[in-house]
Structure 1
Amino acid sequence: MKKILGFIAFSFLLSCSSSNTTIVNSWRDPNTSLVSEQFKKVLVVALLKDDVTRRVVETKFQEYNPGFKPSYNFLHKGNKDMTQEMLIKLLNLEKFDGVVTLRLVDTRVETDYVAGMNTSLYYGNPYYNSYGTMFGGWYGYYSPYYYDPGYYVENTYYFIETNIFSLKNNNLIWSGTTKSSNVSGHIDETAGNIINEIVTQMRKDGSLPPKK
């Protein structure tokens, strides 16, 4: 039987090595683990105003495992006025046992310092380099003149809250907030990074078993 750890963990072991996303905080239901829930079909709901971005994020989840189902196939303008009871009934009829929601909770512009580079760190000997030749010694000798100073840049950071609900008991079992930069033009990559950070944090807090 597939569980949510089968949905998430496997694919993100293969995720990209660099990430523009970090986990800020998280919470878990101390009486529930994702292993015990045995999710087989999970609805992914990206609560975003832009429909194109919503589809990109939700589809990205499904790329990792078909057990994730984008909400745009079930929740759309035609049924946007449904009550909570009607929504839960619809999800039960479609045999969903879990829901993942993502929403933007904050956007901040922060000033970051980018360190410069001093080439003398790499060419410290002015007469003899590590390859046993004399060529390049002059470069190390004069490298202080080629020092690249640091500088400050403004980056926009997006704070995304991810919640995981169990439909069996209709309760929240895990919640976490991630901080992402350089989102524009890299929505699908950022979505992958967010889930990677979620899985890492879930392993730390005991929601998922440790990586073997």
Structure 2
Amino acid sequence: MKPLVSSLLIFSVFFVQCSSSNITSSWHSTEASSLQHGRIIVVGLMPESDKRLLQKMENHLADDLCNLGYDAAASSDIYDFETYKGQDQKQIIKELKQNGIIAVLTIVLLDKQKETYHAPKSMFDAAETDTNNFDVYYNAVYSKINEHGYYVNNTYYFWESSLFLMPNQELVYSAKTQSFNPSSAPALAHEYGRLIISDMLKHNVITNLHKQKDKKL
């Protein structure tokens, strides 16, 4: 009984403390596309309250693309997309094309959910008492259930990233991702960028341009 209790305790602590992101679904075009020449703009679409997170997400993903040899930039560094509201769509595409934008990679926060639940004090000490003696067991458990517990706050993020080729706005890649209890905004941005880049490489949506150049030399 004690080994099982210890295992459950370790698992519970790990589950509460760890943060993780994972791709729940992804799609990519079967047609080959070239992204080698021109700039890729990373555009985050999130509520104003998450503006700090938006900038970190954009910059991490843009940096990850640059590390592969692409010319990529975060939209928050060079554009104010608020100014495009109400403009004609053709005019927006024209301006992007004039600035050498060949593709747009989005980061959309589809939903953000928070939950708080009450976790009672650990019952493991009580469970490890002499279960053959009812008096001892009863008193141990009774004292535990009357102790004050603590509150646990969980945060869930649901994301979608899509890659559009300009100027025809052709969708060539899309992925949905979920994140649970990120430890910090930088950690979430780093983990998310790594996931998306890895998945696009896996499906040959993008490639490591540095390795290509090395092969040619």
TM over 0.5: yes
Task: State the 1:191 CA deviation.
Answer: 1.6
Per-residue CA deviations over 1:101-147 (Å, capped at 9, x if unaligned) read: 11111234579xxxx9x9xxxxxxxxxxxxxxxxxxxxxxxxxxxxx
Preserved contact between residue 109 and residue 156 of structure 1 (Cα < 8 Å): yes
- Residue equivalent to 1:55: 55
Aligned length: 158
Measured in 1, the distance between the counterparts of 2:97 and 2:22 equals 34
1:155 aligns to what? 154
**Match of 1:80?**
85
Matching residue within 92, 108, 111 for 1:106: 111
TM-score by length of 1: 0.60
Q: 1:206 to 1:59 in 2, by over 3 A?
A: closer
> What's the counterpart of residue 100 of structure 2?
95
Deviation digits for residues 8-46 of structure 1 (CA, Å, limit 9, x no counterpart): xxxxxxxxxx9621111001112235xx33253111110
Range with bigger deviation, 50-59 or 99-108? 50-59
Partner Cα distance (1:94, 1:19) in 2:
38
1:26 corresponds in structure 2 to 26
Q: CA contact under 8 A between 2:42 and 2:106: conserved in structure 1?
A: yes
The two structures, once aligned, show a CA RMSD in angstroms of: 3.6
Counterpart amino acid of residue 162 in structure 1: S
The residue aligned with 1:193 is 191
Measure the CA separation in 1 of the matches of 2:189 and 2:37: 21
Contact 1:39–1:98 (CA under 8 A) maintained in structure 2: no
- In 2 relative to 1, CA 79–110 (structure 1 residues): closer, same or farther, beyond 3 Å? closer
TM norm structure 2: 0.59
2:46 counterpart letter in structure 1: L
In structure 1, distance between residues paired with 2:75 and 2:87: 14
One-letter code aligned to 2:105: V
Q: Say if 2:114 and 2:154, in contact at 8 Å, map to a contact too.
A: yes
More helix by share: 2
SS of 2:86's equivalent in the other structure is: coil
Matches within 5 A, 1:158-177: 158-177=157-176
Paired with 2:207 and 2:84, the residues of 1 have a C-alpha distance of: 38
Structure 2: where are the runs of 5+ without partners? 1-17, 117-121, 125-150, 212-217
- Tell me, in whole angstroms, the C-alpha distance in 1 between the residues paired with 2:203 and 2:62: 25
